[in-house]
Amino acid sequence: MKRILAVCFVLALGLAALSGCCSTQTCPDVCLQAMDQKIEAIKAQPCDASACEAAAQRAEAAANRAEAAANKAESIFMQHMKK
């Protein structure tokens, strides 16, 4: 169960990174290939429950940081739009 949860968090992190990277339309193919490689590498690694839990926590923290950065960028963009 924890391994499935860890994979879900990693996929969520990957999608967050993918949306941030590819939103500029400059690197969609590169981003997709990199994400596929990362997902395959993660699936290939065996892990025990504690390692999966730690990975899930790191992924969740990274997703929170990515969301905060996106919110900050949106805030800055909206401030420029008001001017």
Using CA atoms, how far residue 20 sits from 31, 46, 62, in Å, is 10, 29, 13
CB atoms within 10 A of CB 23: 12
pLDDT given at position 32: 65
Q: What is the pLDDT of residues 14-65, one digit of tens each?
A: 767 666 655 555 555 666 677 777 777 777 776 677 877 888 899 999 999 9
pLDDT given at position 30: 62
pLDDT given at position 33: 73
> Cα 80 to chain center, whole Å?
27
pLDDT given at position 67: 92
Q: If we measure between CA atoms, which residue out of 48, 49, 36 comes closest to residue 10? A: 36
